[in-house]
Amino acid sequence: MLKRAVILLALLMCSAFAAIKAQVRECIIDERFSNNMLGWPEDNNQNFSASVCEGIYTLKHKKSSGSQTFDIHSTLYPGRNFFIETEGRFKSGDKDNGFGLVWGKGHNGFFSFVITQNGTYYVREAKAGGKGEFLINPTSSKFIKTGGALNKLRVQCQKGVYSFFINQNYVSRFPFEPFYGDNLGLVLYGQQEVEITRFGVYGTKKTVTVNNQKAQINILGYAINDGVDDDGSKLGNGNSRINSGEIVKMAITLKNVGQSSARDMSVIISSDNQRVRMFDANKRIPIATTNPNETAKVLFKFFVADDFTGNDISLKVDIVDLSGKIVETLPFKVPLNTGLPNFEHHDNNSLSISFKDTPTDVNSSFPITKNNADNTVVVIVGIENYQYLPKATYAGNDARIFFNYMAKVLNVPRQNIIIITDNNATYTNINNIFKPSGRIQHLNLNRIDNVIFYFSGLGAVDSQSSAPYIMAYDSRPNTAAETGYPVADIFKQLQGVNPKSIVCLFETSFAGVDRSGNAFEENGGTFWSLPSLPVLTHNNIAAMYASAGEQAAPVIDQSQHGLFTHWVLLSINNAALHHTPLSMKTLFSNVSREMMRECTKRGITVVPKLDCINKDIITILK
């Protein structure tokens, strides 16, 4: 995670290039299909045919829907670096479907990276019972070869991140997900016939450059000057708000969050609204060369007409390379008649900007929004100091600040927020919230539209079933099933309230370890402590976990929060400042991206997880 003081706008764009590394350790599997010593499936039935002959594994899926896997056993330890690759060609079949790699396959599901004949790729998680979801939605790629040409696919796992390659070209990445099992191999979706000429699995000792990946820059935020310009000329009324009929000078901050320097780039600021006039329209404003993790500042001015109507001004930032080509266009909105950070200009009209009133950490900024949460219920459980278990560092601050965001940013009436912390968060008191005719049911509401549940503390699993439990203040070690509160019961009881949407956020690891990774359970932090998270099947519920495996849930000392909570709150802050809705899909994308970056820098593997069928529809901020 990048330790930035403030995020006011999280928009991604591409600029420079950084090398991606491929692992080249000893070969685990190098299959050329000269024989079938590894025991690949071979058969010819009404559903599929498969045969190994003279260096080719010929596969045919005969059904027009569904999929067929062709896999073998080969243990890949979660958390270790590896890559899997294959080469094959399309022979015939449905152009909207295709073939690809399978890994982490077990009785309850598998993961797949697939290319199609129409030139798209996707990454999918398949689950038992025919259920599944796209981890990466179908995306067009110019790197996919058609017309019977060979295509080479690679899935590379390094430091808790999957990277995906097509014909040696990087195309995408995704956080590591715990395996369902140890099988891996190939998959065909829809009616397909393909020829596979090679399949390989490798570990890691050293690295070699495979290809380049575009780096990323974030627009971190903005500040304004609506008082007096540097030359003494009057801009606006100086009330730190953008109002109709005034000139505003704005500074935006760009940060290079990629892996190499961004050079020779410029921006063009514009607005499609005719009532907003940009000074020096179409002017290319140079961006200073920025190395990874460095920032650059850009200044510009615009005038808002007297007769401008609306709540926001829509602006866009065009990123331009040295040749003048627009690399990316990023729209964003700034609010009218709303208090905004100011800046001062220093160093003889240089771009050294000092931001005033900009939140220096997530604990001090609670943007005002028009979010209507009159019928929203929030339950917060935060336990930092346990009676019999280790301390959950900063869990108390997590709960307190989360309460402030719910009350001050989401506008949830305080009487609708139930919060219990430390010695008040006993098993009995937690149960009294969720049980039938409990505290939620007794809230004075005609109806409950939305429920938000937040927990910060310690978690563990039942040693027999691997079911996850949140640990109450009076929970005891190695007794999760007896003294902890089951996560599955939380979902069940909240569904009983019959709301339109449910959002559950878990700032905890269920691995039986504290926030430093020290075990307090007998099998804490091992494969045996992996949680079997409940599978959510209702359309109205979303659950997001700080750690889905045997990892800890680390903290960030700068803000005194759990790492997961830090980025959840900053994502809400960012969306609120810019009057944009925050879906669970966007929230998870923001949090997982930043957590992966920080954990990679720390040399640890912690991967958050989202379970949600309607991740685009369920929102935490409207």
In whole angstroms, give the CA distance from residue 571 to residue 563.
13
Residues comprising the chain, all counted: 622
Give the fold, CATH level 3, of 376-621. Rossmann fold (3.40.50)
Average confidence (pLDDT) per 10 residues, the chain, 622 residues: 31 32 63 84 85 88 91 70 91 91 88 94 85 85 90 87 90 80 91 94 52 52 82 85 90 67 81 89 80 75 89 83 74 77 54 37 76 94 96 93 91 92 94 92 90 97 94 96 96 95 97 93 87 93 92 88 94 86 93 87 88 94 90
For the chain, which residues make up each domain, given as ranges?
25-205, 215-356, 376-621
Q: Are 620 and 539 in contact (CB under 8 A)?
A: no
Q: Are 84 and 146 in contact (CB under 8 A)?
A: no
pLDDT at residue 291 in the model? 67
Written out in words, the top-level CATH class of the domain with range 25-205 is: mainly beta
In whole angstroms, give the CA distance from residue 332 to residue 580.
9
Q: Are 89 and 98 in contact (CB under 8 A)?
A: no
pLDDT at residue 277 in the model? 92
Mapped onto helix, strand or coil, the DSSP state of residue 397 is helix
pLDDT at residue 60 in the model? 93
Q: Are 196 and 154 in contact (CB under 8 A)?
A: no
pLDDT at residue 347 in the model? 44
In whole angstroms, give the CA distance from residue 211 to residue 69.
29
pLDDT at residue 217 in the model? 62
pLDDT at residue 491 in the model? 97
Reference 97, options 80, 75, 120; nearest CA is 120
In whole angstroms, give the CA distance from residue 400 to residue 414.
13
pLDDT at residue 314 in the model? 85
pLDDT at residue 16 in the model? 30
pLDDT at residue 569 in the model? 95
Please return the burial class of 36, using the count of CB atoms within 10 Å of its CB with bins 0-12, 13-18 and 19+: middle
pLDDT at residue 54 in the model? 78
Strands (E), 226-352: 247-256, 265-270, 276-278, 285-287, 295-304, 312-320, 326-335, 342-345
pLDDT at residue 360 in the model? 37
Written out in words, the top-level CATH class of the domain with range 215-356 is: mainly beta
